[in-house]
Amino acid sequence: MSFILDVEVEHRKGSFALSARMRVSAPISVVFGPSGSGKSTLLRVLAGLERASGRCLISLKGRVLVDSERGVFVEPQRRSISLVFQDLALFPNMTVLENLLFALPRSARGLKRSTDLALEWLCRFGLNGFEDRYPSQLSRGQRQRVALARAIMSEPDLLLLDEPFSSLDGPMRVNLRRELIKLQREKGIPMIYVSHHLDDVVELGEESFFMESGRLVAVLDRSKLCRSPSPEWGRHILDSFGNVLEGLLLPGEGGYRLFEGEGFRFLVKGGEGLGASLLFVPPSDLKLIYPDLPLSYPLSCNLVEGEIEEVREASSSRFLLIRSGCKLWRAEHHRSSYARLNLGVGKRIRFSFMPDGASVFLKGGA
């Protein structure tokens, strides 16, 4: 079998060690796993933004980009790899149109056909009329779409996507997932997509690589994902990077279904069939509820109250462990929203999630 990308990397950064052997053959592959497992570091090594400290071999479409034993290291700008960062790398002093044109060779930026192409890409991503705005005038979701349009417009040999839809709501995520699949088929650009959202994994991942503690520990194809949970893909994997409950998927009304399990009852979307199921909710989809604000439907149906047992700090986020009955929930929130709520260990807090923020898998389903 021929591989689009063949990777072997040993890399140490401080106390963190990355050890990965990865052979990619699918047009779209997904790398998923808990926060801090090394997903973003792997992408940075592939793009050449970090140089592996140990053995490293990277081959893209038969072209050797890195071979540490032979002293080969192709510089990032010569790899024909585009990376859409999680924190978005738009030029703040350039308009949206200028940001897109910057992806093209210098000689092509002033051509009318280049401008027309950029405007066409903006339209495809729902940004027509935004070409003269600056990044500071856009929402985070709009900036994400600009970054994605710029990356694809350059027509790279490989597109790396580091959670590009993390700030988008359910319907927009669904639409952009479909658009991404359509674009891949049109352009033939191989994509590696990092996510912790199971809907992204199932919908996009023709093959999926599960990372844990700096190591690739499982490679799954779509058929195994859809038979979840299986011996390779079960609660032990889900538990490592999110909130999992066992229970029953029941009929509902108004386009929703009911999930009952472990003392909770939630409205959910999706799920094939009815019966014994696993419910998965990513930590980032748990919404902390301000005590003095009214709660609208359907968030009001999935309300949970608990006590904060632990707070873990990251550069821009806070990870909360919240006890509700016998269940320990994991929530991830931006540092600013955490500060506004004046939270701390021992404090009572309410949280909820949107029905389309959860993934439901039938146990033993086909």
Q: What is the pLDDT of residue 104?
A: 79
Q: What is the pLDDT of residue 50?
A: 94
Topology of the domain comprising 5-226: Rossmann fold (3.40.50)
Rounded to whole angstroms, the Cα distance separating 289 from 233 reads 32
Residues in the chain: 366
Instruction: Answer whether residue 344 shows pLDDT above 60.
Output: yes
Instruction: Answer whether residue 1 shows pLDDT above 80.
Output: no
More confident residue, 285 or 232: 285
Q: What is the pLDDT of residue 90?
A: 85
Q: What is the pLDDT of residue 17?
A: 94
Beta bridge partners of 287: 352
Give the Cβ contact number of residue 235 at 10 Å.
16
Asked if CATH classification 2.40.50.140 holds for the domain at 232-362, the reply, yes or no, is yes
All CATH 2.40.50.140 domain ranges of the chain, comma separated, are 232-362
Using the Cα atoms of residue 67, residue 71, residue 72 and residue 73 in order, give the sign of their dihedral.
positive
Rounded to whole angstroms, the Cα distance separating 222 from 187 reads 22
Is the CB of residue 318 less than 8 Å from the CB of residue 312? Answer: yes
Query: Which H or E run contains 64?
Result: strand 63-67
The pair of three-digit structure tokens given for residue 38, joined into one six-digit string:
């090394």
Position of tokens 């926060």? Answer: 35
Which of 47, 52, 61 has the alpha carbon at shortest distance from 151?
47
pLDDT grade for 174, boundaries at 50, 70 and 90:
confident
Model's pTM, two decimal places?
Answer: 0.69
Instruction: Answer whether residue 264 shows pLDDT above 80.
Output: yes
Please give the DSSP secondary-structure letter assigned to residue 285: G
Please give the DSSP secondary-structure letter assigned to residue 342: T
Q: What is the pLDDT of residue 232?
A: 43
Instruction: Answer whether residue 345 shows pLDDT above 70.
Output: yes
End-to-end CA separation in angstroms for the chain: 28
Please give the DSSP secondary-structure letter assigned to residue 166: T
3-state secondary structure of 131: coil
Which of 86, 14, 90 has the alpha carbon at shortest distance from 44?
86
Angle value at C-alpha 233, between 324 and 334, nearest 5 degrees: 45
Q: What is the pLDDT of residue 245?
A: 92
Least confident of 4-13, 20-29, 334-343: 334-343
All CATH 3.40.50.300 domain ranges of the chain, comma separated, are 5-226
pLDDT-above-90 percentage for the chain: 41
Distances (CA, A) of 31 to 45, 104, 116, 131: 14, 28, 34, 32
3-state secondary structure of 304: strand
pLDDT grade for 339, boundaries at 50, 70 and 90:
low
> What integer best gives the mean pLDDT of the chain?
84
Rounded to whole angstroms, the Cα distance separating 39 from 209 reads 10
Instruction: Answer whether residue 128 shows pLDDT above 50.
Output: yes
Beta bridge partners of 335: none
Least confident of 91-105, 133-147, 176-190, 237-251: 237-251
Q: What is the pLDDT of residue 365?
A: 44
Which of 33, 13, 12, 16 has the alpha carbon at shortest distance from 205?
33
Per-residue pLDDT of 266-324, as tens digits, reads 999 866 678 888 888 888 889 888 877 788 888 999 999 999 999 887 656 788 999 99
Rounded to whole angstroms, the Cα distance separating 80 from 25 reads 18
Residue type, 323: R
